[in-house]
Amino acid sequence: MGSGSSGEAARRRRRLQTAIKDSLRELSTQLSVLNHQVGARLDLKDSDFDCLDLVNRYGPLSPSALARLAGLHPATVTGVLDRLERGGWVARERDPADRRAVLVRALRDRTAEVYRLYGGMNASMDELCAGYDEGQLELIADFLHRTTTAGRDATDELAES
């Protein structure tokens, strides 16, 4: 084996890395379209739907914490929360640890609507995952976790510059 095969291996690795990055971009676009469709069915703007998802996953949250997670200006989040509260999606409550502070909590009554709209995607993901063994699923989960962390780091870096 000469140096030609190591050059070929390096080119193959670069092609694979490019294919992974391209696939992640396609996935991002497709999930964005899916989320937009779900949000439209629920009569929610994209930013409102994103904030609702963040409150569902990480809440209860202070409005300022939500603004940081969503990458939105606090005044924008105030408008988002007003709309979500009027729609019966969230409630603003006093923080029991600091009565001067407010926490935003998702109202579970409407969560079933969101899950129903993602039913097809969730079923597809279950079917897809069934084709992998436990070790492969651990590898995929690790890759996706690291990809999410890289995206968060890149976002934080842009926000700070």
71 and 36 within one domain: no
Domain membership of residue 71 (yes or no) is: yes
- Model pTM above 0.85: no
Domain match, 20 and 58 both: no
Residue 118 inside a domain? The answer is no
- Domain at 47, CATH number: 1.10.10.10
Do both 52 and 93 map to the same domain? yes
Helices and strands (H, E) in the chain, number of each type: 7, 2
Q: How confident is the model at residue 97 (pLDDT cuts 50, 70, 90)?
A: confident
pLDDT in tens, 103-113: 999 998 888 88
**Does residue 149 lie in a domain region?**
no
* Residue 145 half-sphere exposure toward CB, CA atoms < 13 A: 6
**Cα radius of gyration rounded to whole Å, the chain:** 20
Picking from 107, 127, 143, the residue at the C-terminal end of a domain is 107
Distance between CA atoms of residues 4 and 154, nearest Å: 35
- Strands annotated E in the chain: 90-95, 98-106
Q: Annotate 116-135 with b (16+ C-beta within 10 A) or e (fewer).
A: ebeeeeeeeeeeeeeeeeee
User: Is residue 36 situated within a structural domain?
Assistant: yes
Name the residue range of residue 29's domain. 1-41
User: What is the rounded CA–CA span in Å between residue 70 and residue 29?
Assistant: 18
Structural domain ending residue among the three candidates 61, 88, 107: 107
Give the mean pLDDT of 31-43.
94
